[in-house]
Structure 1
Amino acid sequence: MYEPIRTKSVHSTMARTPDDFPHRTREEELDIQLAGHLAALLAVTDELRAVAPTADLDTAAERLAEQVARLRGGRPPARAAAPTGGREPSAAALHRRAHALAGRALVVAASRADTSAAILAAERMDAHTAALQPRALASH
């Protein structure tokens, strides 16, 4: 009723030995993940700087760029210019998104025991929480 399989599995023939697959350590994977979260936070920070520029956001952007470059072996992150066209997101929406990204970065930084990135992420969470307070939003 069923025809037997006559060929070897693709999975067993693709890799001759376990060393044929590129493997990264857990720490390398966490570095990649942390750099991604911080780069995303940097992008949102740059958007916020375009919508509601402050010295705090400028400093945060510089510090985020430094951390991303450190995690990527010295390669600076790609930075986008202010968004053109389309509807500009509100400052509140950007602060909420930045808060969530900073939280993700904090979790990964803590898992990796990266103190400098964890401190930066926690500071950014606090800053975005403060920015979301009703009186802070009235000034934006």
Structure 2
Amino acid sequence: MAGADSGAYEGFTAEERAAMKEHARGLKTAARRSSPAEKAAQAEQDVLAKIAEMQESDRIMAERVHAVITSTAPDLAPKLWYGMPAYALGGKVVCFFQSAEKFKSRYATLGFSDQAKLDEGTMWAAGFALTEVTPEAEERIAALVKRAVS
């Protein structure tokens, strides 16, 4: 966060403000859709369009993550969440893909919300850095997603 070192709060970064505005636009757009089937179909198209806009390295990873999640857990519904591809169960986000570009990070992130059933004792990972989606990473993602929705 800007100003964290100085102790002075300087507000949200430009990237954070853009993500909040994108989230608000997404909520308004979803509210205008009529049938649940139309909403679901359009939400997936929105996710695919967002992935297509990403820089090549992020796009390649996001496409693979999307394919793994949708094949591993078909009950998860793709949707945009703060401008990121996300996957929800009963309307609540379980996991999401955050491109490196989104917040000018050095790696993409596969994140899990508190809805994910990944609990391990008193501490567990809720986010994973991704620099490449290899076949081994795909297996791990599938296992995490399967566990998250179990």
The answer, yes or no, to whether TM exceeds 0.5 is: no
- Structure number with higher relative contact order (C-alpha < 8 Å, ≥ 6 residues apart): 1
Structure with greater proportional strand content = 2
Give the TM-score of the pair, scaled to structure 2: 0.25
Give the TM-score of the pair, scaled to structure 1: 0.26
Structure with greater proportional helix content = 1
- Answer with 1 or 2: which has the greater Rg: 1
